[in-house]
Structure 1
């Protein structure tokens, strides 16, 4: 939101303006400083009048110390932003002259008053925006805490000695964590500061007459630091300090060792402490130890799983706040009241706590940045985030206006007409009534958004009609008999009610549920009636619920997933619909419950991104993971694949994606993953062994390609397709790498390939990425894992079998160096364009097809090609039987090998559809036959996809596709290919 507008000071405040000016003039005259005031420009006097009108605090500061105005004007600090370095250096210069503790207190307070006047001036005159104001306040707080700490530390060391770590034997420093708005650098004009003190390790001090324990040293130091900041002197205070967020609150020790902190949060940390820790930042003391401490505490804050218990906990916390607001009559509190700042913070924190363990982009402190991430990552619509940000800024400006009045720590709207008029003026409104109406409209919008994310959307319904699914609770908890339960299921539309009832009771008494803790059992008892109720509304209620039950049993111990589905009824409905449509999807989600996250956003679920966005999204995910954390990288790759494969399957079931697009997306997904896997493997090998060389002696820069054959090469991947890959390099296999642990080039390139296979095929908690088949490389299993470009070319030209050239028709570079890819494609075109003995080729292709049918086909027979009757009791293998998909694939491969020497356009593309187009364009078959083959091939593939989603093999009854099979076989023969006698057709 843009800054509030500057408007003229209304007549109702003119008296206040004049009083402020009079107080200032009187103070200046006493000090003989009126010349400064008289020399002010018209613009500067207008700014001064506005500030004196709005802020009693500034008036009082100028009354007590008119020199402050002169100094601020002369320094130019009122007219420009200050960097964090300037703020720190200004304070450090002042503190460097301090010789006593009392002088330190005076120094801090005078510096604070100066900064406060400067910041209020720039805020009220709208020279600074909200971000600058919050950063200036936070930066000065950081500097004050750190400078005071360092001065006090040095003084205490003189008396008590230097604290030394028991294990490291190194001097110890305090780590001071800033929490809340200080941690997020969102401090307001009169905020207190929430701090936690910790030190790395126990031990004793050295260098003094009497040693003291490190705990005692830092406790004394912490007490002095609080006094230096918090105590009120004639100069006021520096910062109000609140230490209640530390472990055990006010009743606990003032400082903790890192080990004690870790133990506390691991064993006793409460939900509200997780929210507090989201914004924790090391603001002073030992910065390196601060990073270490926050790393130790991160697992407490951000869970590795989707933590939907956060919503319920936030809701309960909000209810407590609302009760307090009601009890104290704080409806006009713009922070805690309905539609206030806290509700916007809760919205951001809910997503951070739920998803932050897995989505590292959410592990950040400033709320506005978090909201931007929620929009960028698709958690919330951009329009919603824009509204939240705009209103948040508005409310923070209101907060600053309230606190600028008298430097009081309050978020309550003023209740007197004079202060109300001042706030309206600072907010750019002509009157309080107009401002208050706009404020209420904004708060209503925030309250509405808050309820969409956090509040129980069924709360009112539950109060009036009971909880959703209550009618099914007696069935689930077995307070009614089996007969009554089956009648209830029948009346609700469930078929095979007795079988369903038995399955539900089996789940209830299953061994996996016996060990579930009380909280998990309670969540299951809340969820199951809702599940039955949601299933009853669908067309296939019994099928839906039966396919979801294995998932429920699988996640019973991790009941956070039950909370997810309970909190999101639309997500539960989507789960039931998808599982009813596809047992394959049901199995995927059961094996990998983290996929439930994908069902939350309907738009994202049914709209897979295009190739470019897909690759960029994966790069972004991996960029957030440390380069040396292979385990987390592998998990991120696997989750990315699982999530996007589910989105493709859901889109296919919903009818949003036709067959060809499904294969496109699945192929793009594989390419994006292979690109990142190649870069990971290459980088890891370079770190370990150094950079290999090219044949000309220059360093290799990823002179490596991954070639895809088969389905991935032909852009025809299915949901469970594996990867037929070949690795090729263009480096010098003999020269050594330049690392400390050097190896020859051939071994280096082999290690890259081995690393890729390891990343792709290692079984983790999220499964494997892909099954990888390397048997199509030169010489198959007996050959090198990685071939040189030259070696590959020689093999293809002199040693490769016809079936290997057939495979080359569908070979395509998936990722790697552009120059090597272009060289490979030139080799491929040259090999495919070689003129071959047509009769020999026909025989070899036919023989290879026979071997495949014999090994992979069924026993389906036909009583002669002139008869269109197939035995209806037999089965037809859509892929491998005569007249099936492989026949069409072999035809395109045969034609490419037979005629590319004459028609190079046949070898341009690797997919069957476009090869058939080229066959028609070159008149090798008629356009009608080409179109018919394309439609038949698509029909076969669609059937295979549908069967795969049903977890069924590629088999249909033999009388299906009878006409198609017959025509494919006729076209097979028309190309001079033959069906060998005694083959299985």
Structure 2
């Protein structure tokens, strides 16, 4: 077959046409003497071209025939050419599995296992495999016999004689036979141990479910009992030795490779628990200590080896517990949390290639099916199957899953399992990663019948099926709830209302009957609106169920939908804008404040669908909108009503952004920057309140005096308002300052200023649908007993003669917020020497500040409040951090410009940069301040009213925990973490503030 240099032979061209990627190498292999009798046979070339990897198949064939003696080689080649079944099976395996090619090169006679199949051998079971393994009396002969059986299974698989489910079942049956053979070898090696105990091997996971991979850990649990009157402890020790030996036989690697690892970590207490227990010990653990996931795992438990009666007793005893697991508190949340943890633990560089554990992977199918089984299997024994596909079929037949959904899920699962099988078959390695190498992808695609452009085709098919799985994973659990209340297509099975309520209760809905009524109101009928709702609700129900208060989320959604039901853009927005529906679900189910704001003007839901909608609007932008609206209004009251409406809308924007940023979404799953979120909220609410006050001021002045007030007037922000650290429930602390215009009598100016203040406060607090803005001027000179408004000269005179150290401290937060900008700047110039004294603070002043702080701690703490959990006055809380920072500002602000800021975190960072406080101490204080602020914001979001302590109700406490990043059932961790972080901050305060 030699050719003239530079000229390609016809064989070379044919090889390329048949899918060989290295035709030159293939041509050289076909020229080898070992293939002399078949090299010109076109049948062989066609058969090689039909394999997943013709190059690999040819290399494997050459190795096999070269390993045979002359007689066997000729018999193989003759049979190969004359018998199409053998040709397809042998070359199919060689083209799909390098590892099985290696096995055939070591054990060339094993090709004869593929010569022919009897009808009874097409789908062998445990008995047939036990017969094949029966001659194995030591670990290596067992490994060899196991691979011979595996060779036959792979041949049936790649030739399409068996489908993916049948292949997985055969692999599980082969594993069962292998476990029995390994246990027999262990018993033979230790007959004394075998005589002392009854040992049963319970298969779990994919082996237990009759759906094993080519290469997978085989999960097992061991249960043992004494024989007759044997002492229990000795029987368990003997059983442990037998079990350990059996595991080593399967798991150890020798020249013949390994079979597979036997994993017993699903046993009670995992790897920390005893390898073998008695039945009563198992039951005691499951009754007292087992977690939800352990019952989920037991769903697939199946006795496979050892004492069959004991194995049956075990399964019969644990089965009732499995089917009662859905009654456990936080059942669905535990299952969902476990699924999220699996995804979170995938390395970032692998998550997009994980066919098993990644989003849209096999585990999504399995979790969804198992969740439905555990919920509905309590009352429907037809769902008690360990096989995913059998259980899915039963769920569809029982009406718990729509037939179309079940068919799509089945198809996607089979395709993904087929991908997984072929990926593992290549080198018989335990992997679930879709390969990146083009040759591997080409082989994978061709092995699944894709020949035109296998790389593009396999990627497209994989992504398509993964997308279906992701969609149905959400939809599968919730869709039948709608079937309970909506009109169904003819012939479909309706989930009963009672079954729907059971499912809703399992999802965490406290009032499933009411929830079902809401679903009926939203989705019943044949209108286009109801049809869109039936599309949206399955996913929304899942998001609501993932919250601390599913009932509130669903009720809020119904109210919004009722209010906007005739608005054409509303449902279209939720259906077509990917993030809008999820954002709405998160906002509606996270607490009271955001839904209350939304329900007062439901059209604000449009914000959630705008990619820029959750970004806070600038103060200048808001001020232009507000002042333009005031200019169009007929009177001050209507003008301020519009201003308050803008404030309500923007408060909703801020709360929604805060909730969505804190919880994260599929599109934005990264850990949020909590400090940045706190700053964003503080800045947004501060700007909003400043603009609201400016709008009210303009409205009052315009109505009573036209364009010009008789006195120049400014509003100075104080406290958290001046510090840009407002929370959702904060009042606006202010000072009012004015200066009569030229030629205006001081008394007239004072009357005008007081009138403006009184009218502004009245209009901003009128009872309306919009939340009020409380203006608090108690930080003014002389407090409540002093005049509400002063001239700049009056402030100057007071501060020079009467100012106390606490007033200078309060002025650290002073910043102009509205009114005459020049007057605001003049006020700041007036107070700067007071708050940043040139000579710093004397010892007397420092002692006075410390005394005031200690007095505040003892006198203002509410009676009965836990000082370790009070966010404002408690240990390491806001007051501790702020007073420590403010002391540094007053001591060093004159010489350190960075300290001249009204913002706590900025001042703390400046103090650290100036080396006035260590980086570690600054980080400790900052962490505590951010956490306490987040807790206050969370409480307001959840309860709709401000508070400085954690709520006592479990549902509200859970909701606060969700905002702070804690899963349901972990509020204790949240409180422990809060105490730990603030305790560390208090230690810094003791040293830096009190000088301890």
TM value normalised by structure 2: 0.43
